[in-house]
Amino acid sequence: MQRPHILALIPLPAATRAALAGTYTVHEGTSTASVPWEDIAAVVTNGTTGLSAAQMERMPALRIVCAFGAGHEAVDLGVAAQRGIVVANAPGANDETVADHALGFLLALSRGYGTLTAAVRAGGWHGLRAARPTLNGATLGILGMGRIGQAIARRAVGFGMQVHYCTRSPRKDLPYAHEPSPVALARASDYLVAACPGGPATHHIVDGPVLAALGPEGFFVNVARGSVVDSEALVQALRRGDIAGAGLDVFEYEPEVPAALRALDNVLLTPHMAGRSPASQAAQTTVLLASLADCFAGRVPATAIAPR
C-alpha cells in the first residue's frame, strides 16, 4: 500500500518531521520540481502561510489541510469546503507559551531590560537607575479574549493588574471589564496587548487613534498577527513618543521587519516565535498526527474547522 504523500509548506521541528516520516512520504517546501503535485494528499501549513485556491488546484488528490497551530486565516476555507477537503488546526496547543511570551514583553518593556542591559554592557551605571514602571497596580487591556487572551489575563491578575478587554460582545462568564471599542480599551489601559485572530475583520484594528488613546506612558504588545496593526502608524507613534514602547512578535510583511522599527530603541522584536516551546511543539505534533490518522481512516478529525 502506497504511503500518503504530505507536503509541508512550513519548516517543521525535527521531531515532527521524524514522526511524520514514520508513516508518510514527506515533501518540504515548493521550490523543488520533485514534488509530485498529483499525489499530495495532505498539506501542513500555518495561519500566515496558508493555502490558496490556486495551490489546491495543483493537488487533485488533496484530502486534508493541517494548520500546525491554531491560526488558519490564510487557508481558503471556501474552496476547501467546495472540494470536500478537511481543514484542521491545533487550538490550545501553544496558548500558554504565547501568554508567557506576552508577559515577558510586558515586564521587559516596563522595566527596560533591553536598553539597560545594553547600557550596562557598555560600561554604564550612573544615570541608569531611574525609577521604571511596574505591572502591579496597572491596567492591562487585551484585544481579543479567546484562549490566549484568557491565559494572558490570568497571568496579569497574578501580577496584581486590572484587566480590561475588547471583543464584539461582552463575555458574561469572565470577571474582567469589557470596553466597547479598541479606542476605549486603549484609553483605559497602561498596557495594551493584541491577542485577537488575524484576517479582514481585524485588519489594522490597532491604528493611529488607538495608539494615541494609549498615550505617552503606555506600552503596546502584539502576539496576534502583524496585520492587526497599522505599521506606519505604530512607527510614527513610537518616534513621536505618543506611546512609550512596543513588543512585537509578528509583522505585517514578515519575515521583513521594517527598518524603522529595527532602528528604534524603545521596541523589542522577536521573530514570530511566541508560541514555540518544546511543550507546545510536542502538543501540536500530537494533534497533527491524530488529524492525519483520522482523515486517512475515514474519520472526521476532532479539530476539523467547520466550513463557513
In 3D space, the residue among 271, 284, 275 whose CA is nearest the CA of residue 226 turns out to be 271
In sequence order, the 6+-apart residues with CB closer than 8 A to the CB of 108 are 114, 247, 268
Residue 307 has pLDDT above 80, yes or no: no
Q: Cα(8)–Cα(131) distance, rounded to whole angstroms?
A: 49
If pLDDT is split at 50, 70 and 90, which confidence band does 150 have?
Answer: very high
What are the boundaries of each domain within the chain?
Answer: 5-93+278-296, 95-269
**Tens of pLDDT along 221-242?**
999 999 999 999 999 999 999 9
- pLDDT at residue number 147: 95
Decide if 291 contacts 64 (C-beta within 8 A): yes
Residue reference for cell 541608569? 128
Q: Cα(114)–Cα(279) distance, rounded to whole angstroms?
A: 26
Helices (H) and strands (E) in the chain, counts: 11, 12
If pLDDT is split at 50, 70 and 90, which confidence band does 2 have?
Answer: confident
Q: Which amino acid is at 225?
A: R
Residue 5 annotated as catalytic: no
Residue 157 has pLDDT above 90, yes or no: yes
Residue 256 annotated as catalytic: no
| pTM, to two decimals | 0.92
Tell me whether the CATH fold assigned to 5-93+278-296 matches the one assigned to 95-269: yes
Beta strands 5-8 and 245-248 are unpaired
Residue reference for cell 500546525? 68
If pLDDT is split at 50, 70 and 90, which confidence band does 306 have?
Answer: confident
Decide if 284 contacts 256 (C-beta within 8 A): no
Query: DSSP characters for 237-291?
Result: HHHHTSSSEEEES--TTTT---HHHHT-TTEEE--S-TT--HHHHHHHHHHHHHH
- pLDDT at residue number 168: 94
If pLDDT is split at 50, 70 and 90, which confidence band does 1 have?
Answer: low
- pLDDT at residue number 15: 96
Q: Which of 272, 276, 299, 308 is catalytic?
A: 272
**Tens of pLDDT along 24-78?**
999 988 666 678 999 999 999 998 899 999 999 999 999 999 999 988 989 999 9
- pLDDT at residue number 30: 67
- pLDDT at residue number 34: 77
Residue 146 has pLDDT above 90, yes or no: yes
Structural fold of domain 5-93+278-296: Rossmann fold (3.40.50)
CATH class for the domain made up of 95-269 = alpha beta
The three cell numbers locating residue 81: 469546503
**Tens of pLDDT along 114-137?**
999 999 999 999 999 999 999 999
- pLDDT at residue number 32: 61
Q: Which of 101, 155, 187, 225 is catalytic?
A: 225
Residue 262 annotated as catalytic: no
Q: Cα(64)–Cα(42) distance, rounded to whole angstroms?
A: 5
- pLDDT at residue number 206: 98
